[in-house]
Structure 1
Amino acid sequence: MADGDDVKAVKIEDPATESPSDKRLKELRQTFHPMFEPSLTISDQRGAHEVTFQFRHEDHTLCNPLREVLNQHPGVLHVGYTIPHPSEHVVDFILHVKEGYTCAEVMRDGFNVLMNIFDTMGRRFAEAVYKYKTENGIPLDSEDIVPEQNL
């Protein structure tokens, strides 16, 4: 593996600074997948510019949006994925990048863009639910997230 191309799981948690939506997200993850730990490994590498990542416990739900985001990255020459067999929860994700980029940094960029997209979607959904319920006199319940601007 080339320098700077290692893929590490980074977990940053500070319960004191956790927002209510972060706490709610953790509760939801535990509800849907109490033992679920996705993994990302490098299964094949041809230098720093062509890598096949392997996702375990993932499918089209993550890989298709990630592929779309990475297709728009200026450093990507080719990106694609295959699911060798549907009964094996494994995805082979192929990434080929230009000189001056590494696969690890491009993959991190892709995940950061996806997280921003999902954060925006979640915030807009919560705002729409809040607006609908307050405009129609429907009481808010424990599932509702009050938009930050209304605090």
Structure 2
Amino acid sequence: MKKQVGLLIILSITLLLWGCSNQAKIHSENTELLQKQDDLTAHIPVQSEETILAKEEDKKVPAVSEVVSTVEEKQLMIKYKGDIYQVSALDVDIDTNHLIKIGKVKSVVSDDKKPNKNNQANRNIKGEPIYQGEENTIIVKINEEYKLLEKQ
């Protein structure tokens, strides 16, 4: 029994010493990694926010400005008899032989604006005829193509 207790004590001391030496090794490795990280970051130049912004302004990307202007563009709209009409999502065949002219586009606003006068459009189609459609619709010829617009 005394031998077993002695062996247990020796085994416990061995494990304790082995565990402590591993902790010291881990601490040493962590310290080395932190030192390497400090060495690496010391060589990275720090730029002020003003410097970064100035460099950003130097980069001219025409495609981005083109995309922005397209996004700002509103859908085709025409104001007729006090109501706003927009291009219909419906795909319909328009019989151009039986169209009845009910007016024409008299003025335009820029394509990012909403028309605010009767017979006004937000596209450069001044002078184009406005035709009667079914209930709550009108038809307009744009770029040699007839478009159905629905009352909003």
TM-score between both structures, scaled by the size of structure 1: 0.26
Higher relative contact order (CA 8 A, sep 6+): 1
TM-score w.r.t. the length of structure 2 is 0.26
Larger Rg: 2
